[in-house]
Amino acid sequence: MELQEIIDWFKSNYNQKNIEGMRRFGIVTDKAFGISSKQLDDLRKVVGTNHEIAIKLWETGYHETKMLAALIADPKLVSPQLMDKWVLDFDNWAICDSVCGKLFRKTSYVYDKIDQWAEREELYVKRAAFALIAWIAVHHKKQPDDFFLHYYDLIITHSKDERDHIKKAVNWALRQIGKRSRALGLEALEICELLHREFSESRSAKWIASDAKRELKAKYGII
């Protein structure tokens, strides 16, 4: 399929009901078609990997064209400059988490970007850093446990960010690392105790700790 064919497909499958549902979940719909995840995945199979079209789709600026761009882009051709450009276009949690999970985690620069973006103050740039930690904790299975200890330091440092989309991503990262192994899980539980003890004035840190502790204790059968 060519670019215009894809755009025409989006227009012909416009769904107002889905757009209303997206709004309820806090997804920006100023430029959206209301296309479901399954429809996007089916379209991905038709289009196939096509980095050139992915770049053009992203530039159109629609929620679903950006989603499809992440699905069909070639991770081997993604440059750090492109990652820095696209991350600034994130305008909701869904596009942030999806692009990080479907594309950015597969690139050669993912670890560098985590460290860089965690220190940024832009809402979805910073969220992207912790979404990526969560994604690599699940998918980068060849990394040893010790590799992830560095990310525990980032989690502690940024657990006091009171912004809802940040605290949920930090919590997500903590839980996913903790679920990789019992050793990392016990370390995560110690971090939960530290957050309660050292950052008791922070509602964000306390929520992160309480929520992660509940899930990790259940996973490892700790009373």
Distance (Å, rounded) from C-alpha 16 to C-alpha 9? 15
| DSSP of 159-209 | TT---HHHHHHHHHHHHHHHTT-HHHHHHHHHHHHHHHHH-TT-HHHHHHH
Asked if residue 100 belongs to a domain, the reply is no
Looking at residue 223, its pLDDT comes to 82
> What pLDDT is recorded for position 28?
85
Rounded Cα–Cα distance for residues 205 and 186 (Å)? 18
Residue 92 makes CB contacts below 8 A (sequence gap 6+) with 26, 27, 28, 63, 124
User: Is 63 among the domain residues?
Assistant: no
Residue 37 domain-assigned? no
> What is the reported pLDDT for 187?
97
pLDDT at 152: 97
**172 in any annotated domain:** yes
Q: Report yes or no: 124 and 160 within 8 Å, Cβ to Cβ.
A: no
Instruction: Provide the token pair at 163.
Output: 């912004």
Burial of 106 (0-12, 13-18, 19+ CB in 10 A): middle
What CATH number should be reported for the domain holding residue 207? 1.25.40
Domain presence at residue 177: yes
Q: Is 147 within the bounds of a domain? A: yes
pTM for the complete prediction? 0.96
Paired tokens of 222 = 């700790």
For residue 193, what pLDDT is reported? 97
In-domain check, residue 160: yes
A 10 A CB-CB count for 110 gives 21
Number of structural domains found in the chain: 1
Q: Please, what are the averages of pLDDT over each run of 10 residues along the chain (223 residues)?
A: 96 96 91 96 97 98 98 98 98 97 98 98 98 98 96 97 98 98 97 96 97 98 91
Q: What is the span of the domain harbouring residue 153?
A: 110-223
Cβ atoms of 40 and 68 closer than 8 Å: yes
Residue 88 belongs to some domain of the structure: no
